[in-house]
Amino acid sequence: MITTPTNARMSWVAFATAGVTLTAGAFLIAMFVLEAPYNGPYNFGRANDALAALGNVLIAALVLHVSRPAERPGRSRAFVRIVAAASVVAAVCSILLAFGLIAFEVSTGISIAVILLQASWMLWVNTRLYDLGVFSRLLSRCGQLVGAGLWMGLLTVGISAMFGWLTIAQVLILGLGIFIAGGVWLAWPFWFVMLGLHLRKRPTAADSAAAPATAPDTRRRGRRSASHAG
């Protein structure tokens, strides 16, 4: 049973995640603007790595908590555990990168894979909890936008690798992918703020798995009625 105090505590985890990820993004931008052109000393980069590690640990905790009303025994529960575990792995890689114990390319590859997993979780959990009547339409749609935007942006970056390095097509496609993924990633903290507010006002997270049991049926009936009317 997930109690009201548990939800209240997890709301502060959501708020902390928003602050940590937003600050990490600021340090990352500072690294590229102030340090990368001069090849160091990458103090902002190390600060970003440390905050990214903390952020991923907090995300892992939120993934496990928020998913409880939505997960079922089997594949969905395994998927939730995989996303949480991958987030912890990304946190460890960020710490290793901060201390120079892992190559930047390796850490970046792992981070991108984990972000795609987290984006998939965002799409799944926001859709599922909206259907269950747990999430509001605004919270759900914002989460779905973040998940879809991360996938679209990172896939666009990947497509740019199919073109010659620094050709016009490669630069344009790469720039578009970075713009989409980077913009959505920087907007992600605001979803965590919305999630924190939702957790604070919701009596219990466990009740949402049982109490709104008719919500999916109601929504589905509404959709069927609308389709028949059309």
Do the domain assignments include residue 216? no
* Sign of torsion over alpha carbons 181, 83, 216, 197: negative
Do the domain assignments include residue 190? yes
3-state secondary structure of 11: helix
Report whether pLDDT(85) > 60: yes
CA–CA separation, 206 and 68 (whole Å): 7
What pLDDT sits at residue 182? 86
191-213 pLDDT per residue, tens: 999 999 999 886 544 444 444 44
CA–CA separation, 95 and 106 (whole Å): 13
Do the domain assignments include residue 80? yes
What pLDDT sits at residue 203? 55
Q: What is the 3-state secondary structure (H, E, C) of 82-142?
A: HHHHHHHHHHHHHHHHHCCCCCHHHHHHHHHHHHHHHHHHHHHHHHHHHHCCCCCHHHHHH
Do the domain assignments include residue 149? yes
Do the domain assignments include residue 219? no
Instruction: Tell me how many domains the chain contains.
Output: 1
Do the domain assignments include residue 218? no
CA–CA separation, 52 and 17 (whole Å): 10
How much is the mean pLDDT over the chain?
Answer: 86
Domain housing 85: 4-202
What pLDDT sits at residue 180? 92
pTM of the model: 0.82
pLDDT, average across residues 18-45: 90
